Amino acid sequence: MVKSISWILLFLSALLAFISVVILIEKLFFTNCTNSYSELILEYDEIYTEVGRGKLVKGYLSNKGIEDEFRLSVDGIKWSVIKPEKMRLNENETEEIFVYISPIKSGKFDAKIKAESYCQKHQESIVIHVT
């Protein structure tokens, strides 16, 4: 009895491993990106603020193509936070994004807001003037 249960469990684990490999291969080699289209839109492309005074920039990510999962990030400055950092959008779905900027030194800075998926890469810039 115990021996037959262990063989069944072994068979099920091998089957699950096989299914996982098939799904991975399908994602890597057969993903069709021709129907992928989205837009990253920010409320501002230039902002003015002071050291220690935070500023919130709202934006939108719109998916016009097939369902896709995006990773969101900010490059160019370390004193910022983007929410959400990851988002899955269905076809014709739009979600808000929020970039909170809290400068720690004065100057002029260029922040790059990125939305990336397997099929797409978008980037918008915000010029930040800090006094």
Per the listing, tokens 């990125």 go with: 114
Question: Is the entire prediction scored with pTM above 0.85?
Answer: no
Cβ-count burial 74-105 (b if 16+ within 10 Å, e if not):
beebebbebeeeebebeeeeeeebebebebee
CATH of 38-130 given 3.30.70.270, 2.60.40.10, 3.30.70.260, 3.40.50.1260:
2.60.40.10
Q: Where are the domains of the chain?
A: 1-30, 38-130
Reported as a single tens digit per residue, the pLDDT across 60-96 is: 999 998 889 999 999 999 999 999 999 999 999 999 9
Reported as a single tens digit per residue, the pLDDT across 16-47 is: 999 988 877 776 666 677 778 899 999 999 99
The answer to whether the beta carbons of residues 82 and 75 sit under 8 Å apart is: no
